[in-house]
Structure 1
Amino acid sequence: MLHKTITILGQNIEPGKSYELNFDVAKLHTATSIDVPIIVERSKKPGPTVLLTAGIHGDELNGIEIVRQLIAKGINKPKCGTVICIPIINIFGFINLSREFPDGRDLNRVFPGLKQGSLASRVAYKLTNEILNQADFVLDFHTGGAGRFNAPQVRIAKNSSRLDTLAKTFGAPFVLYSKNLKKSFRETAYKAGIATLLFEGGKSHHIDTNVTNTGVNGAKRVLHSLGMLQSKFTVSAPKQKSVFVMASKWQRASYSGMFKATVSTGTRVKKETILGHITDPYGKFNHFVRAESSGYIINVNESPLVYQGDALFHITTRVKN
């Protein structure tokens, strides 16, 4: 295998070198430049190019913390091939702890972007055409939003034996088959033939140790399977076998009120199991939320106040044996 030439943001990346590139996103109203650091590590030995990304939504801190740890511990320095790390893609959202770009758009809904489009669209275009196009494989780290806590999970498209194998290697507690959302980063990578695992865990505005440990260990396992992890790092087996989820559904609130869940993510429940309760502030009403079906709890709404129709629990309805 020969080393192919890699060019990122106009910079030729030489074998055996380390680079920190600046992705010039835009300027503030004060004319101050906003740059997104991109950390590139390339081995002298040829191998795959792996892209590790996080922070497409600026309030998803678990993903950002995972990539930070991979860099801080030197896990991103490959035995062969190249590792590209972008810990925070949406730097504007990170500064404001917001999902959106300053133009009000969700970056993960404007890919592959337009060269002369909106601010978010321009960033998506540059990321697609100057960084993503160099990758052979992508690990994209996310966090649950809107106060809903996701069990650590990998999301992949159906009908791909390679993605099945990579997801199993990653070793998250759950693997969800989910469609690639239109104009998402994952859909753009998929159309380009770049295998992508999307990891999601925890909730926005919080950093959860179990979630971040799962993400770091999963990345190590994948890099090890690709022959890229340096021998000084140990690779532990997952604590449990991944559950491949074929179908799932949201259970929603029948009433508005104060909400308290009594089960945690990852729990397997039977139909009619009490999952939590909804009360009113005056002590006159107490509604027990019971499981509408048997399955694993893969998301719990941790908001203390809910309205009728709000999603409370995400429950698996069919898993692969």
Structure 2
Amino acid sequence: MSDEPKEGLDRRDFMIASLAAVGASAVLASSAGPAKAQDTAASAGDAPQGTVFTGDVIEGKKVVSSLDVNDLEPGQRHLLYFQGAQMPTGQHWHVSVTVAKGAQPGKRVVLTSGVHGDEMSNIQTVQTVMNQLDPTEMSGTVMAVTDIARPALESMQRRWPNQGRGPDLIDMNREWPGNENGLTAASRHAGLLFNRLLRPNADFAIDFHTGTTGFEVTGFNIGEMDVPEIKAMLELYPVGQIFDNPTYPGVLHNAFIDAGIPSFTPEIGAARVLDLEMIALFVEGTMNVLKHHGIVAGPMGRTGKDVTVFVGNSAFPILATAGGLVEHLVKLNDKVKAGQKVAIQRNSFGEVVAEYTSGVTGEVTGQRSDAMSEPGNPLVFILFNKAPPEGAEAYPE
């Protein structure tokens, strides 16, 4: 999510933003866009074709620096490590790769999670899907990468701890498609993964996320409903909200789309926890997608037709104007009207120092879960279907 508010953003202008400040590296990356794009293209063209084994074995699993799932034995499950960017010590960050290679040919899907290090329900969603697959009964291939931002996951923090120009935190979901020769380890890691692991093995892709630390979201999907292939997949999930928006350019699902690969992002509730009830909904929807593409057989589960789905094309942010304890007057998924009071805030004496109202009519899609807030923190996001009123701030992710 970008922390830079803008006025009156419509669907195409609306960018998804982090709920914390964007680092200097993100600014540098955006200002160096053309050069970065050229370098990334060159890196992609130089990437080795086919599968390259490094010769290393970690915990009994072979390590690859490049993967072509066509090289793997069909009808089997393959557990590998992919060699990512180097640490300051010169060792590599290795990410876990699970491939369910069907006995019969078919579509190839990539499922990713762990792009943010404080997101847990998305990881278990992907793991649960993979554990339900029987390669001997499949047509096609499902590849899962569940721990993309390894150094962030090690400390369960949202951003990649970069050691370039002094300690820095980089939101890896602003780095895609990355650059193998980039200015940061996070950019190089993204470039290696995208060029040598993700893009070459995807006919479509799903990048799973959750809310961020201190800010909880509903279960919803982010994707562009005007792209038929994406719309068809979005509607196969039994979840109540769809954010119909292209979002920020540097997120992983947009890198797939830019490469001609239909993709979208599920958002699965709160960070740092396992929401088993919500995970089950997204497992069911993802299995529906695999059935839709003929990868697995069987009847469809529940879809969007079985629930009430609210589709919005923008999100209205309500930002704190004071410091203090926050009391929410609405819940996630509640319908709200323009002018409705949604939260109040009290100082250390218990005095009400701020009251917050919605500027739009829509549904609550996110709320601050930390009880205290300082000025500028997002408190509530309202999913809605028209441009914000003049002067409103729009917080994009």
Query: TM-score over 0.5 for the alignment?
Result: yes
* 1:76-87 equivalent positions in 2, closer than 5 A: 79-87=138-146
Secondary structure at the aligned position of 2:170 is classed as coil
Partner of 1:58: 117
Deviates more, 1:61-70 or 1:288-297: 288-297
Instruction: Specify which of 19, 28, 38 is matched with residue 97 of structure 2.
Output: 38
Distance, in Å, in 1 between the alignment partners of 2:379 and 2:136 is 41
Distance, in Å, in 2 between the alignment partners of 1:253 and 1:76 is 50
Q: Residues 285 and 111 of structure 1: is their aligned pair in 2 closer, same or farther, counting only changes over 3 Å?
A: closer
Partner of 2:288: 221
Does 1:169 pair with 2:241?
Answer: no
Partner of 1:240: 307
Deviations 1:20-39 (A, max 9, x none): 11111245556665421100
Distance, in Å, in 2 between the alignment partners of 1:39 and 1:309 is 41
Deviates more, 1:291-300 or 1:136-145: 291-300
Q: RMSD of aligned C-alpha atoms? A: 2.5
Does 1:188 pair with 2:255?
Answer: yes
Does 1:249 pair with 2:308?
Answer: no
Distance, in Å, in 2 between the alignment partners of 1:115 and 1:30 is 19
Distance, in Å, in 1 between the alignment partners of 2:331 and 2:260 is 37
Partner of 1:123: 189
Higher relative contact order (CA 8 A, sep 6+): 2
Deviations 1:279-307 (A, max 9, x none): 11212336443333322111111121112
Uncovered stretches (5+) of structure 2, i.e. residues with no partner: 1-48, 52-63, 163-168, 387-397
Partner of 1:74: 133
Q: Deviation at 1:82? A: 0.3
Q: Which amino acid aligns with 2:82?
A: F
Contact 1:76/1:83, CA 8 A, preserved across alignment: no
Instruction: Specify which of 200, 206, 210 is matched with residue 139 of structure 1.
Output: 206
Q: Which amino acid aligns with 1:44?
A: A
Distance, in Å, in 2 between the alignment partners of 1:302 and 1:279 is 16
Deviations 1:251-291 (A, max 9, x none): 22343211021322111123343423211121233644333
Secondary structure at the aligned position of 2:382 is classed as strand
Counting aligned pairs with the same residue, the percent is 22
Partner of 1:159: 226
Uncovered stretches (5+) of structure 1, i.e. residues with no partner: none
Partner of 1:284: 351
Does 1:293 pair with 2:360?
Answer: yes
Distance, in Å, in 2 between the alignment partners of 1:85 and 1:30 is 28
Distance, in Å, in 2 between the alignment partners of 1:272 and 1:181 is 28
Q: Residues 318 and 30 of structure 1: is their aligned pair in 2 closer, same or farther, counting only changes over 3 Å?
A: closer
Distance, in Å, in 2 between the alignment partners of 1:13 and 1:19 is 8
Q: Residues 225 and 234 of structure 1: is their aligned pair in 2 closer, same or farther, counting only changes over 3 Å?
A: closer
Distance, in Å, in 2 between the alignment partners of 1:266 and 1:51 is 29
Secondary structure at the aligned position of 1:121 is classed as helix
Contact 1:42/1:81, CA 8 A, preserved across alignment: yes
Distance, in Å, in 2 between the alignment partners of 1:111 and 1:289 is 35
Contact 1:152/1:211, CA 8 A, preserved across alignment: yes
Q: Which amino acid aligns with 1:14?
A: E
